[in-house]
Structure 1
Amino acid sequence: MYTGFKHLHSTLAYILLAALVFSILYTLFSYLNKKPFTEGNRKVALIGLISAHLQLVVGLVLYFISPLGLSNASGAAMKDSASRLYFLEHPLMMIIGIALITVGYSRAKRLKEDKKRYMSILIFYTLGLVLILSRIPWQVWP
């Protein structure tokens, strides 16, 4: 079960990164071309949001069943950078990044001006992506 969730989490990470980059670029081009914010723009942003939340759910399950996750939390693990990455830094930064993406999408839905809607998605999705990229364990990521 652990191995299956680990592979699923890694596979969904590629999908999440592609969805976020696509959402950001699509929004940026629409903003620069001064297009009105349409239902299509909202759905593209929703793709990034859904993929982030799906990855979060799988990651949380993996966090609780993995020997590197919550069961590894201890004072000794805090002194080891690899252990600290898996049980503290990676999950915390991913949750913060996904929270930012969620805030950006929610704000864009509530705002009325197209420019503000685009900026909400651009700023929050980009910040979320940067945080996510900062704590991916690149050395072991397939």
Structure 2
Amino acid sequence: MASINAISKYASKKPYGAKDFRISLFALIVSHIQLLIGIILYFISPYFEAFSSVGMGDVMKNSTLRLYLIEHPFTMIVSIVLITVGYSKHKKKLSSTPKFKLLAIFYTIALLVLLSRVPWSAWLNLN
């Protein structure tokens, strides 16, 4: 929602308002809460035991374990960093167009990175 809002307002040259601030802040807060929940789930996941049972070499050879234990957590952290950087940088801009441009760039890249490593087969039950 924050990406779409920023892109549409940037393209239409609309002024940056309180609603836009709340949308971008909400995306930031929700993404950080999701990160905290994800960290907890990562360490209590049955997949986490694979590090000690099969070792890092075998984790990297197994595409499912690599996705759940390495790729997914790393890309989610990268996404949260992009959202945080975009939010921080947009606050320093004084006019609407640069604010929306920064939000559109950082939030959209974060969304694409995030969507690239979601384990879709587990969510869509394609196993």
TM-score (norm 1): 0.80
State the Cα distance separating 1:28 from its structure 2 match: 1.9
Of 128-137 and 32-41, deviating more is 32-41
Question: 1:141 aligned to 2:123?
Answer: yes
CA distance in 1, matches of 2:107, 2:87: 8
Runs of 4+ in 1 over 6 A off after TM superposition: none
Aligned partner of 1:65 among 27, 44, 48: 44
Instruction: Say whether residues 1:122 and 2:100 are aligned partners.
Output: no
1:32 offset after TM fit, Å? 2.1
- Provide Cα deviations, 1:89-133, integer angstroms capped at 9, x if missing partner: 000000001100111111111111211110110000001001100
Count of residues in Structure 1 that have an aligned counterpart in Structure 2: 120
Q: Which amino acid aligns with 2:91?
A: K
How much identity, in percent, do the aligned residues show? 41
> Which residue does the alignment assign to 2:61?
79
Provide the residue aligned with 1:27 in structure 2.
Answer: 6
Q: Deviations over 1:26-47 (max 9, x none)?
A: 1222222222111211111111
Q: Which of 93, 100, 103 is the equivalent residue of 2:75?
A: 93
Q: Distance in 2 between matches of 1:34 and 1:76?
A: 52
Q: Which amino acid aligns with 1:63?
A: Y
- Amino acid in the other structure paired with 2:38: G
Deviations 1:3-36 (A, max 9, x none): xxxxxxxxxxxxxxxxxxx111112222222221
TM-score, normalised relative to structure 2: 0.89
Q: Structure 1 CA distance, aligned partners of 2:19 and 2:90?
A: 13
Q: Which runs of 5+ in 1 are unaligned?
A: 1-21
Q: Identify unmatched segments of 5+ residues in structure 2.
A: none
Structure 2 counterparts to residues 105-116 of structure 1, below 5 A: 105-116=87-98
Cα distance in 2 for residues equivalent to 1:66 and 1:83: 12
Quick one: distance in 2 between partners of 1:49 and 1:60?
Answer: 17
1:64-94 deviation per Cα after TM superposition (whole angstroms, max 9, x unaligned): 111213x323211111000011110000000
Whole-Å separation in 1 of the counterparts to 2:42 and 2:88: 27
